[in-house]
Amino acid sequence: MWFESWHNIYRVIVVGIVAYAGLIVLLRLSGNRSLSKMNAFDLVVTVAFGSTLSSILLSRDVTLATGLAALALLVALQLALTWLSVRSSAVSRLVKTRPTVLLREGRLCHEALKRVRITSDEVEGAVRRHGHGSLRDIDLVVLETDGSLSVIPASQAGDRSAYGKLRDGAP
């Protein structure tokens, strides 16, 4: 159907403005972490925000109050889980992946590549994007918790204090 009524369009505009403003307020109250690019869990929450906002806008069965309550619930659950994960290593391990070393001192860690389903071509591409032409010049390539690849040239490795407890090729 191409057009049903002006009332539906008016509803989408009014509810959209209020729901969008409500989402912004909730996200500001919850802090920067709620939409950060930190890990897979954060991505799921971000998608849930979008899906909920879409339902509020397009479904007549979802009232504005119900939709805002759903958004508030998602924010509250996100805050609770991040609060728990900061305080409990068990919860943290449950919801977060650990960074994984994919290349160390110029050599690919093949077992780690298999485990995280990254190809050597992808690691080589990351090295090139960081402006390097040789794997031998790279001290470390790490698959970070947000899915990005960090490339640290040997010339910039320093004392390696930023490496922390990186997961190597072993499970």
Rounded CA-CA distance 39/144 in Å is 9
101: three-class secondary structure by DSSP: strand
The pTM score is 0.68
pLDDT score recorded for residue 161:
86
Mean residue pLDDT of the chain comes to: 87
Q: How many domains does the chain have?
A: 2
157: three-class secondary structure by DSSP: coil
Rounded CA-CA distance 103/150 in Å is 10
Is the residue at 128 inside a domain? yes
pLDDT band at 67 (very low <50, low <70, confident <90, very high): very high
Whether residue 51 is predicted with pLDDT greater than 80 in this model: the reply is yes
Q: Which domain holds residue 34?
A: 6-94
CATH number of the domain at 118, please.
3.30.240.20
Mean pLDDT for 11-15 is 92
Check: CB of residue 145 under 8 Å from CB of residue 38. Answer: yes
Task: Specify the DSSP element, H or E, that contains 102.
Answer: strand 100-104
* More confident site: 28 or 170: 28
pLDDT score recorded for residue 108:
95
pLDDT score recorded for residue 87:
94
Is the residue at 169 inside a domain? no
Within this chain, do residues 87 and 105 fall inside the same structural domain, yes or no? no
Rounded CA-CA distance 17/116 in Å is 41
Which tokens in the block code for residue 53? 């906002």
Whether residue 4 is predicted with pLDDT greater than 70 in this model: the reply is yes
Check: CB of residue 100 under 8 Å from CB of residue 115. Answer: yes
Whether residue 136 is predicted with pLDDT greater than 90 in this model: the reply is yes
Which tokens in the block code for residue 112? 């780690």
pLDDT score recorded for residue 37:
61
Q: What residues contact residue 155 under an 8 Å CB cut-off, 6+ apart? A: 137
* More confident site: 4 or 171: 4
Within this chain, do residues 26 and 48 fall inside the same structural domain, yes or no? yes
Over pLDDT 70: what percentage of the chain?
92
pLDDT score recorded for residue 168:
59
Within this chain, do residues 17 and 80 fall inside the same structural domain, yes or no? yes
101 burial (CB, 10 Å; 0-12 / 13-18 / 19+) is middle
Within this chain, do residues 62 and 113 fall inside the same structural domain, yes or no? no
Is the residue at 168 inside a domain? no
Rounded to the nearest 5°, which phi and psi values hold at 148? Answer: -80, 160
